Structures are given as C-alpha cells and as structure tokens.
Chain A
Amino acid sequence: MLQTSPRAIPALYRSSVGKKAIMAVTGVLLVLFLIAHMVGNLKVFLGPAEIDEYAAWLRTIGAPLLHHEWFLWIQRVVLLAALVLHMTMAYQLARRARRARPVRYRHRAKVQGSYAARTMRWGGVIIALFVIYHILDLTTGTVNPGYQHGEVYRNLVADFAPERWYVTLFYTLAVVAVGFHLRHGLVSATQSLGAASPQRARTLNLAATAFAVVMVAGYLSVPFAVTVGLVD
C-alpha cells in the first residue's frame, strides 16, 4: 500500500541533511535581502535627496494597506527568524562535527578545500557581530556621530569620514567576510537543495565567485567613496 511520509517535517529538522536544507533556504532569504540592500545603498551616488527619499519610501511600502513601517517590521521579523534558524542549524552541525572526531590527527595535512569553505563558521560569527554593530550604527544611530533619523546621506558621510578610518576598515573586513561566506554558501546551498550536477559544476562555481565579487564591490563602493571624498 502506498502512503505519504508521516515524519516529513521532523525528519527534515532532525537529520544532518535536513538541517543543511534549512540553512540553504534561510540563506537564500538573507541573500535576497543583501541584493536589495546593496542596490539601495548605491543610491548614495545620486545625491542626498535620492537616498533619503528611498529610505522614507522603505517605510511606506504597502501603504495604505500597511501602516507606516509595518512592512519594515515584517521584514525585520522574517530576516531575524531566518538568521536565528540559520545560525542554530550551523551551531548544531558544528557541534556534531566536533563530536564526530574526538581524537585529532597528529599529522595534519594541507587542506584541499577552498579558503571560503573552511571559514564558514568563524566567518559567520564575524558577520553576526558586524550586523549588531551595523544596526547600532546606521539604524538606531547609537554609535554614529550626530545621527539624524531619516538623514541617511548625512549619517553615511559622518560614519565613513577619513578620520574614522577604523570604521571603514571594520566595514571592509565584514563585507569581505560576507563575500567569502556568499561564495561558498551559494555553491553549498545548491548542493544541499539537490540542484548541483556535474554538468553545472563549472558554471556554478564561476557564477558564485562573480556574484560574491559584485556584492563586495557594490557594498564597499559606498564607504570608500565617502572616505576618499567622492561622496561628501
């Protein structure tokens, strides 16, 4: 007799394969946000009016159905849930991996895998810490000098001023970490969702690298432009 699987969701959540699938899906959500966010940031090159208007528009999405900032709050809740799931799965899998090899090798050979693949866990931690700082910086303004709500252009210029080079440096490190995370993350998600195939491997690798490079360049262009005075 044919029947459908009764343990669909539990097996998905419990197994090491299911956990990776959850990481892939939540990761894709976060990547979609990253794309939109980068495009939005680039509006800084069109002048204060453009980007400030854009920030104001973000708060009116869905009006009149949604009240002021409702969309933004829905997005925040969804992103936070995705992030928490993503990190929980990563933590559980990391703990599992540590237990799987209690005795280490005395002779550790040079690893063959990519740098990006090896730094997913620590890279992820760095990105999480960055997101906290970043929200305190440009959303709440807590650590931004003279922060003004709604004046995105002003806040960015104050943030990445040449004398605050260390902020720019920190942003650079974080964005590069995001780039590596994306590079391996995209390839890995394709594999976890079962879409990888030998015919597509080369294209996939190239596409993931190209995407990561474009994202890093797009994100970094903003703080660098401010620091060198292109945007002021």
Chain B
Amino acid sequence: MKLTLRVWRQKGPQDKGGMVEYQLDDVSPDMSFLEMLDVLNERLILDGEDPIAFDHDCREGICGMCSLVINGTPHGPEKATTTCQLHMRKFSDGEVIDIEPWRSQAFPVIKDLVVDRSAFDKIIEAGGYISAPTGSAPDAHAVPVPKPDADRAFEAAECIACGACVAACPNGSAMLFTAAKVTHLGLLPQGQPERYDRVVNMVEAHDEAGFGGCTVTGECTVACPKGIPLDTIAQLNRDYLAATAGRRKKS
C-alpha cells in the first residue's frame, strides 16, 4: 500500500507545532497502525531525522497508552478498537491519513503525539480506590454480589483510562472516564464505604483539571475502545445528586 501521512509534529510543550507530510510506499495491510509508524520512524532515524514520538506499551489493547486521533477519530475508524489493535487493511491504497494527538486543555502535548494524561491520575487519586483491610485475603465468594450489579460493574471496569472519550467529546469532558470508575466501584459491596464521597471528590477533581461538562452528545461512547456505555454517566449523576442534594451520609 502507498500512503500519505500528515502527522502533528511538535518539538516540545512550548513549540507551536504543525502538520508534516510523509510518503510511505510499501505498507503491508497486515501491519498494525503502530507498526506502520515504527517503519516510518526507522526510516526517519536512518535519514538522521527526529523520529515521531507516540505513546504505546502493551500493543494488545489493554494498557490504554496508545492515543492517536486518526482522521479526526480517536483510535481511528474501527469500532471498539484501540490504535494498537487497528490494522492497515482498514485503510485503502493511496489514502491520506491525518494523525493528531488528543486535544484537551487538561492533556498538554509533551512532544509530537504524546500528551500528559496525569489529569486522569488526579481524578483517580480523588476517589478511584476502596479501603480494604490488610491480612489474609477473604474467600472469593464471601460477599455476594447481585448478578446485574456484577455485570454492570464489570462492563465499567473495562475502561483502560486511555482518554479517547475526552479526545472525542466536543466539550472536552472526561465524564465517561469518571463515570466508568464511579460505576465500577460504586456498584460493588467493596466500594460502598466511600461511595458518596468518591463521586463528589472525583467530579471535583474532574472539574479542577479543566475538563468540560457533559452535554450528553454521546461522542465518547462511540469513540471508546471498550464501549463504556453512556448510561454510566447517569449512574454518576444519580450518585452525585444523592450525595449533594439528597445529603447521603458520608464516611
């Protein structure tokens, strides 16, 4: 396959940056998107140029590091697929592909396509945990969990904190990510002690980081590689209102 790439290049946080065009002549349709960039980077290194910086780690769709906006869509055209699991056969010969970083005030660009996602760590620090006593581990089935709750919590727990929801949202909101955590922990018995503090504190950290508010446009779930459903945000809203307007007891 022959491809034209237009890639966002930015030397550092202060650099203005811009799109740079590259021609690729022998891309195999079996390559993953990141392998295609590896090939380009090898060529750039041989030519004595600075390789394109991009985030990646597991390359099997579970770590949440890869983060490219491909032709305006976070993680590219394939539904429920991370960039690392996207293959070049999804593109056609001769195609022009634009590659940009996540765009969010809270995710500043470090270099090229790499952004700083520590704003997510702040949200997790604010409440993305449970308190568990130390000592010997309890029996796996000691605490019964209703099946529907277990299923919804499990579905929400699939979030890999990649940030595609933020990148896709026209409001730059991280509510889908925050809601995935609130739903995952808040529906399980182990998450009950902090349930109502968690939601208030995580939303506060979310707002403080500079993310926008949710207007239920639904762009996030469409972009999410794990298909986190939009109604997790309803769960978050319900718990938030119970904690504030409903004055649910706090720990």
**Cβ-defined contact, B73 with A109, below 8 A:** yes
> Are A101 and B235 closer than 8 Å at their CB atoms?
no
The reply to whether the CB of A198 lies closer than 8 angstroms to some CB of chain B is: yes
Contact B106 A194 (CB under 8 A): no
The complex places the Cα of A85 from the Cα of B182 at a distance, in Å, of 28
- Bound Cα distance A193, B211 (Å): 20
Q: Which residue of A lies closest to B70 (CB)?
A: A107
| B104 engages A101 (CB within 8 Å) | yes
Per the 8 Å Cβ criterion, residues 75-122 of B in contact with A are: 98, 100, 103-106
CB of B1 within 8 A of chain A?
Answer: no
Interface string of B207-251 (1 = CB under 8 A from A): 100111111111100100000011101111111111111011111
How far, in Å, is A226 (CB) from chain B's closest CB?
37
B173 at the interface (CB under 8 A from A): yes
Judge whether B207 and A105 touch: CB under 8 Å.
no
Known contacts: A11-B204, A97-B171, A194-B241. The answer to whether A17 contacts B219 by CB under 8 A is: no
With known contacts A17-B213, A93-B215, A106-B98, A8–B245 Cβ distance under 8 A: yes
Given A8-B244, A17-B203: A3 touches B250 (CB 8 Å cut-off): yes
Q: B7 to nearest A CB, angstroms?
A: 11
Q: Does A202 touch B at the CB level, under 8 Å?
A: no
Answer yes or no: B172 CB below 8 A from chain A CBs.
Answer: yes
Minimum CB distance partner of A90 in chain B = B215
Q: How large is the interface on A (under 10, 10 to 19, 20 to 34, 35 or more residues)?
A: 35 or more
Query: Is B72 an interface residue, CB under 8 A from the partner?
Result: yes
Contact with B98, one of A9, A100, A107, A112 (Cβ below 8 angstroms): A107
Across-interface contacts of B106 in A (CB, < 8 A):
100
A101-136 Cβ-contact flags toward B at 8 Å (1 or 0): 111111111111110011010000000000000000
Beta-carbon nearest neighbor of B19 in chain A? A106
Interface presence of B170 (CB below 8 A):
yes
A195 to B231, CA, bound (A): 9
Closest chain-B Cβ to A165's Cβ sits at a distance in Å of 35
Residue contact A5 to B216, C-beta cutoff 8 Å: no
- Say yes or no: A19 contacts B213, CB within 8 Å: yes
Q: Is the CB of B210 within 8 A of A107?
A: no
- 9 A-B residue pairs with CB within 8 Å: A2-B250, A5-B243, A5-B247, A15-B204, A100-B212, A105-B72, A194-B236, A196-B231, A198-B231
In addition to A2-B250, A5-B196, A117-B217, 18 A-B residue pairs with Cβ atoms within 8 Å of each other are: A2-B251, A7-B244, A11-B244, A17-B213, A20-B214, A20-B215, A93-B171, A93-B215, A97-B213, A100-B104, A101-B104, A106-B6, A108-B72, A112-B218, A112-B222, A190-B234, A191-B230, A192-B216
